[in-house]
A and B are shown apart, each in its own frame.
Chain A
Amino acid sequence: MSALSIREVRKAHQGTPILKGINLEIEDGEFLCLVGPSGCGKSTLLSMIAGLDTIDSGEVSIGGRVVNHLSPKDRDIAMVFQSYALYPNMSVRENVSFGLEIRKVPQAERQAIVQRVAQTLQMEHLLDRKPSQLSGGQRQRVAMGRAIARDPALFLFDEPLSNLDAKLRVEMRTEIKLLHKRMGTTIVYVTHDQIEAMTLSDRIAVMRAGEVQQFASPQEIYDNPVNLFVAGFMGSPSMNFIRAKVETQGAGFGLRLDTHGASHLMPAQGIDAALRSRVGQEVIFGVRPEQITHRPDGAGADQLHTLRLPVELVEPTGPDTLLLVPINGQEVTCRVHPTHACAAGEHLDLTFDLSKAVYFDAKTEQRLL
């Protein structure tokens, strides 16, 4: 029995399709992240799961029960909002116990639950304050407490951390992950921060314009993006996309890479079938910055390919240094250990690890396999 299953869910607003047939299914205890650029329909999908908005067609089931026609209160869910949506006129204690009170939980039990939740989230000292007397992080905590108190089958989070400053965001991220580990509840978490998605989730659904582009584990999405959009969305700094012409190279194929004055043929392996019909045409060669680096010692040789490239710009980030090199008239980002970095204007031997390189059709932007 899956904890949440979404089948062919569609939604339109005034004739404009917002969700165009969403299919997702997660198991009990899984952490699902919905990511995608602003306006792609993440919040809309979450509202449909919560029952705050009706779906045009399709089916949503929670814990094996179709909930299409159930109101939010009957869906056994709790939700944490971006603005926290704490009741301003109630104290923290009342905020947390409001839902319990409405569900006619006896007073004594209510108090016990509030106490337990406050302990879990280390906010016992805040219980008698009003939301206006709390900091952003504390409000966030209370909003989570309100959700936890009800002990629902499914948690929904809509960008819960986006109003916090960078440092607090990282702290709360860790806290949410620990909380999930401890309680083992199923979570659907909306974010447009791909790092949040990578670090928190068991599975990620990358959305664009009302469609799920890819639904897989974080590593799978990172290593094997199905198209250019997913490849570009996940990862920071973003994957390099180099437009290059396909040429034959012995029995196989290669991609023509030009830098100032020098021309190289980069072997492209494992996708012969796709390249055969594209000889003489351009494809997009996708390679992540960390896959272009200084020559590692004694690594397997046949997947590595070294080019001597002119470095145009050097950006130290601390643990790594990013180098910008021009290839086919584009800036390509490489990530090297600071000790191997050189000054701008110099040439450097850079090794391409092609085992994780991906290739896309130049027109459809779909992955070539």
Chain B
Amino acid sequence: MADASNPATGTNLGRVLIYAALALTCLYYLLPLYVMVVTSLKSLDEIRTGNLVAPPQNLTFDPWIKAWSSACTGVNCGGMRGYFMNSVMFTIPAVMLSTLIGAANGYVMTMWRSRFSDILFAALMMGCFIPFQVVLLPMARTLGVLGIANSVLGLVFVHTVYGLAFTTLFFRNYYITIPDELVKAAKIDGAGFFLIFRRIILPLSIPIIVVSVIWQFTQVWNDFLFGVVFSSGESQPITVALNNLVNTSTGVKEYNVNMAAAIIAALPTLFVYVVAGKHFVRGLTAGAVKG
């Protein structure tokens, strides 16, 4: 009996340690978020006098309202609202376009291979390692030539192009696990390039589409550098606006408004993770599609 119970206690102890470690890690990551939330719900007076981690005594939503609709970023005092919409306006098309084109790229590179597939793939992979800073000048010139500099359309273009390397990598590596006999069978059934993509390949791609969308959404929404360089004034994304808000030097620092604005800026990515995070992990580890 003693023999039997020892391993059991061992597992239990191990479990306790694991959960303790997990809880600590959670706490470590959630504490800043907690501080942000409570600070955004306090009045400035309470922030000045009270404890950083203490819950708000007099709950107020004024900082949120101000952050959303009337906070000043530089000379402009319309709150985050407009910039939030800007971000939505270029993030959604950029995510959709880069995912779709990435899927098409991956499809061509795996299912319709030519001599150039591998060279092209290697070249695209370089794209994953090119730092943002390197593409700034050529991109500015390109946007100028295309006549879409300083516009939401320009940002859509920049993010789509920059994201392609990653989305292509995702889809290519996923499609390589799909047996090519599937495509051969479809060819013999009489299906052509687009039909096979639409009817056979895309329906199998849900897990990797989720991965690509989450990745691209996070990248594009959180981007600061492209936003600050390729847009100005009214067309700036929320990340840039948040920076401007926090750095506006007139008057007292409104920590509560800043926190509320920061949470507003982070909310969409949080939302995407909560909704699709489960699929994200599943998609990253998804393997061959067994027929």
Contact = CB atoms under 8 A, between A and B. Distances in A.
Interface of A: 47, 50, 52, 71-73, 77-79, 81-89, 98-99, 102-103, 131-132, 139, 146, 150
The 8 closest A-B pairs by CB, nearest first: A99-B189, A73-B190, A89-B203, A85-B181, A85-B185, A102-B190, A86-B291, A81-B181
Interface in B178-212: 179, 181-182, 184-191, 195, 199-200, 203-204
A102 B189 CA distance: 7
Given A73-B189, A102-B191, A84 B291 contact: yes
20 contacts: A50-B188, A52-B184, A52-B188, A72-B184, A78-B188, A79-B184, A83-B181, A83-B291, A85-B181, A85-B182, A86-B291, A87-B199, A87-B200, A88-B290, A89-B204, A98-B191, A99-B189, A103-B190, A131-B291, A146-B185
B289 interface: yes
Interface residues of B, number: 19
A131 B203 CA distance: 14
A168 to B, nearest CB: 17
Given A78-B188, A87-B185, A89-B203, 9 more contacts: A72-B184, A73-B191, A84-B291, A85-B184, A87-B200, A99-B188, A99-B189, A99-B190, A150-B189
Contacts of A83: 179, 181, 291
A18 B7 CA distance: 59
A88 B179 CA distance: 11
Contact of B188 (A77, A88, A89, A132): A77
A163 B260 CA distance: 60
Contact of B187 (A52, A86, A89, A146): A52
B114 to A, nearest CB: 13
Which of the listed residues A50, A72, A139 has the most CB atoms from chain B within 10 Å of its own CB? Answer: A72
A132 B182 contact: no
A102 B195 contact: yes
Contacts of B179: 83, 85
A102 B203 CA distance: 17
A89 B178 CA distance: 13
